[in-house]
Amino acid sequence: MTTAALGSAGTWTTAAHAQAPASAAGKPVILVLGDSLSAEYGLKRGEGWVPLLEKRLAQQKIAATVVNASISGDTSSGGRARFPSLLTQHKPSLVVLELGANDALRGLPLADTESNLLQITKAAQAAGAKVLIVGIQVPPNYGGDYTRRFEAVFSKVAGATRSALVPFLLKGVADAPDALSLFQADRIHPTAAAQPQLLDNVWPELRKLLPK
């Protein structure tokens, strides 16, 4: 989502501070490529679902390095453009791909979003990384047809590449009875209180891709 709208066993590394390859420590690298939903927009450092993931890995004694390469406002095309250098720098074993929401907000062609996500996924797989695609949904005011076609983009890419899929990152938040209380004042970005639910949505599929 945009900055104006929506945009131990582990080591927490942000894209801005990760200069050396995170794989240098010998641990498998989990690279999160996302937008503001993964970049802690409007939250204090450490409150977002990605740093909570790092804590869960430590608690479960799963050796992995988490690199958060998420940028508020990023689109699928932006992620595609910067992904090659991230692959080279971090050499991830697992890529968590959480992009596409800003494409919808900007009214970008769904075919372009699908193509970008597909190319990112294929590039990751060609480099030997597993991919977890994290889906997002748009509100019904976008129209029923657009809402259905946008939601289908993520499952289509996952199916075409045989990748793991989280259908809806905000499940249990956007559709909760008290949904309004789980969002910041912009009614788009989840609050700190909602972040554990986001992690719980991602974790079951992510855990399957990690070493036993």
Catalytic residues: 36, 186, 189
Reported in sequence order, the residue ranges of the chain that DSSP labels E, i.e. its strands, are 10-14, 29-34, 64-68, 94-98, 130-134, 164-166
Phi, psi of 12 (to 5 degrees): -85, 120
Distance CA(122)–CA(20), nearest Å, equals 24
Place of tokens 């679902």: 49
Tokens coding 15 = 């894209």
